[in-house]
Amino acid sequence: MRRLMSGNEALARGAFEAGVTVGAGYPGTPSTEILENLARYKPDVYCEWSPNEKVAFEVAAGASLAGARSIVTMKHVGLNVAADPLMTLSYISVEGGFVACVADDPGMHSSQNEQDTRNYARFAKIPLFEPSDSQEARDFLKLAIQVSEEFKTPVILRTTTRVSHSRSLVEIGERILSEKKIGLVKNPPRFVPIPVWGRPMRRRVEDRLIRLKAFSESSPANRLEWRDKSLGIITSSIAYQYAREVWPKASVLKLGMSYPFPDSMIREFAAGVSNLLIVEELDDFIEQHVRALGLACRGRDVVPGIMELSVDRLLAARARYEGRPVEEPKPFAFSDRLPPRPPVLCPGCPHRGIFYSLAKREVVVTGDIGCYSLGAFPPLDRMDSILCMGGGISMAHGLEKAGEPCPVVGIVGDSTFFHSGITGLLNISYNRGSSTIIVLDNRTTAMTGHQDHPGTGRTLMGEATKAVSIEDIGRACGIERVCVVNPYNLDQTSQVISDEITADEPSLIVSRAPCPLREKKRVGVSRKILPEKCKGCKLCLNLGCPAIEGGEDGPRINETLCAGCGLCEQVCPAGAVISGGRA
C-alpha cells in the first residue's frame, strides 16, 4: 500500500516497522515531526520529549544497552549538545539497534547556522545514511537499525529540511520485532570505558570501520546508475533529486550509505565515466574523499557550498561546468516595491509585553533560540545577541563580569530553560553575578509547534505528570530574588523589570502567560481604535503587532487578527483603543 508521507512521517514509519520500541528527542525544526509521528504508534512504542538532546541521546542509548531498538531525534545543532554521548557510545557500542535521526537545515530556514552533520559520522567513526525522499527515509531507517545491530554501532541517519518536509509516496510494510530478550547483559569491559577497557574499545572502533567499509561496498543503499558515460555524478541526499532533473542523461553514483565511503565502488564509477562531478549540499564531504583517493573531479568549483541547493542553482552550476554564461534571473520591475514580510510575534503573543518593556531601557539583552528570537526585529528591536540554546543566561553573566556598563538581561524560553538554562542560572548564583534573567514562560515549546516539556504537566505519551516549577528551580539554584509577572500587564512588568535590573544581586523574572496559539483562544475581547479620539501618535505601532495596521488615515485594528491582549489599550495615551466586542 502506498501512502503520501513527509520524510519525517516516513522515518517514524520505518522505525515502527524496524521494531523500535523506544524513541526520545528534543523538538527542533526540521526534525520535530519524526518523534511526534512515532508517538502515534503508542502503546507499541514508548516516546518521550527529553529536556535536551544530550539527555534524549542517553535515554535511547540506555534503551539500546538493555537490548531494545531505539531512535533519538534532533536537529543539526542538537547533535552538538549530544556530541558527548555520541563520541563515546561509538566506543562502548550498542546492543539493540540505535539510530540518531539528525535533520540539517541547509539554507537556514529555521536555524542559527548551517552545519553539515555528515562530518559527525566521520568524527565519531560510525556509519551514515542519507535518504533522498520519503521512501528511502522509511527504507534506510530500517537498514540503519539492521546495520546498527549487526555491527553493534550507533548510526546517524541524516536528513535535510527538504527531505524531512517534502512529501512523496511510500510503500509501507509490517512491523518486525526484535527477538532479543530485554535486560542488560553485564559486561564491564564492553560498557565501561575506563582506560584499561577503553583502549581496546578504541581499536575495535577502527576494526569496525573497516568491516563497515566492506559492507558499504555492497550496501543496497549505494547505487550505480549507468546512463551516458561522458559525465558521471556522485551525489547524495536531496542533491540527488535535483541532479537527476538537471543532468537527466548523466550516470550517477548515488550514495545512500555515505560513510564509510565505498571506495571500490567510487573507483569503479570514476573509471567508467569520462568526467566526474560531485554534487553535494553544504560541505565538500564527498569531494574531499574522492580527491584523497587520487581521483580527478569537479564539484565545489561549480556547485555552491553555501545555502541549500535547488534545481535553479544546479542549472547555474551546469552552465558554469559547461563554461556557458550563467543566466541571472531577471527580477520583475515591481520587485523592489514589495514590502518584506518577515516572521513576527503573533497577535496576542505574551513575549511582546516583555520586549516592549525592555525597549524603553538602556540594557543589553542576550537571548537565544525560540519564538522570542523574533524580538530582535524592529520595531521591538530588543535582542542584542543570540548564540545557542540557553546561551543568553550564561552570556549575560560573561558580559557583566567583563564590565559591561549597561545592566544585562538574559532571556530564555520555558522549554529552553529546562533544555540548558538551569546550569547557566546556577553559575550566576555560584559566581556572584547580578544579571537579571527573564524566563518567557508561555507553557509550551512554541516555535516548533507546541510540544510539551517538563513544565507543562503532560508527556508526549499524553499522560499527566508533575509540572516542574521554574521558580522552585531558580530558588534551588540559589537565586533569592524570584518573581512572576503577567506580561499582559505593562505597568507591573515595567515596574518589576526596573526594580530587578537595578538590584545588585541576581534576579529571576518568570513572565507567565500561555501561548494563545496553543490555547486556541483569544487572550481577551478584541480591540478597536476610535478614529475620533486617535491623535495619530503611532505609539501602538511600536508594539509590532500584526493586528495593528498603519495607514495614512491612522492606525486601525484588524479584528480578525486581534487576539485581545489589550497591550495597545495600555500603550495609547489618548484612550482611543477600546474593547471591540468580539470575544
Partner 1 sequence: MSEMGNVPKQTDQSKETKSIVLVGVGGQGILLASEILAQTAMLEGYDVKTNEVHGMAQRGGSVMAQIRYGKEVHSPLVARNEAHILGALEKVEALRYADYLRPDGLAAVSTQAIMPVTVSSGGAQYPQDAEELLKQAFPRLVYIDAAKIAGDLGDIRAANIVLLGAISQGLDLAMESWEKAIALCVKEKFLEINRKAFTAGRCHS
By the criterion CB under 8 A, which residues form the site for partner 1?
2, 4, 29-30, 32-33, 109-110, 133, 162, 165-169, 238, 241-242, 244-245, 310-312, 315, 329, 331-332, 334-335, 337-346, 371, 373-374, 377-379, 447-449, 538, 541-542, 544-546, 548-550, 555, 558, 560
Nearer to partner 1, 112 or 288 (CB): 112
Smallest separation (angstroms) from partner 1 to the CB of 298: 22
Locate all alpha helices (DSSP H) within 448-521, ordered by sequence.
470-476, 490-502, 516-519
Smallest separation (angstroms) from partner 1 to the CB of 548: 6
Smallest separation (angstroms) from partner 1 to the CB of 341: 4
Smallest separation (angstroms) from partner 1 to the CB of 163: 9
Nearer to partner 1, 27 or 566 (CB): 27
Nearer to partner 1, 244 or 289 (CB): 244
- Of 441, 358, 446, which Cα lies nearest the Cα of 396? 358
Q: Are 438 and 506 in contact (CB under 8 A)?
A: no
User: Does the bond joining 379 to the residue before it have cis omega, within 30 degrees of 0?
Assistant: yes
Smallest separation (angstroms) from partner 1 to the CB of 539: 12
Nearer to partner 1, 96 or 516 (CB): 516
Euclidean distance between CA atoms 259 and 120, whole angstroms: 10
Which cell numbers in the block locate residue 519? Answer: 490555547
Nearer to partner 1, 297 or 545 (CB): 545
Euclidean distance between CA atoms 42 and 344, whole angstroms: 35
Smallest separation (angstroms) from partner 1 to the CB of 179: 36
Smallest separation (angstroms) from partner 1 to the CB of 342: 6
Distances (CA, A) of 179 to 18, 67, 138, 173, 176: 12, 10, 21, 18, 9
Smallest separation (angstroms) from partner 1 to the CB of 340: 5
- What SS3 state is found at 25? strand
Beta strands in 353-496 (DSSP E): 364-367, 385-386, 408-413, 436-441, 481-485
Smallest separation (angstroms) from partner 1 to the CB of 315: 7
Nearer to partner 1, 188 or 343 (CB): 343
Q: What are phi and psi of 185, to 5 degrees?
A: -90, 110
Beta strands in 14-78 (DSSP E): 22-25, 46-49, 70-75
Nearer to partner 1, 406 or 541 (CB): 541
Residues with Cβ within 8 Å of 308's Cβ and at least 6 positions away in sequence, in order, are: 106, 107, 160, 161, 162, 281
Per residue in 435-451, is it b (16+ CB within 10 Å) or e — as a string? bbbbbbbbbbbbbbebb
Nearer to partner 1, 64 or 448 (CB): 448
Nearer to partner 1, 148 or 416 (CB): 416
End-to-end distance of the chain based on CA atoms, in angstroms? 46
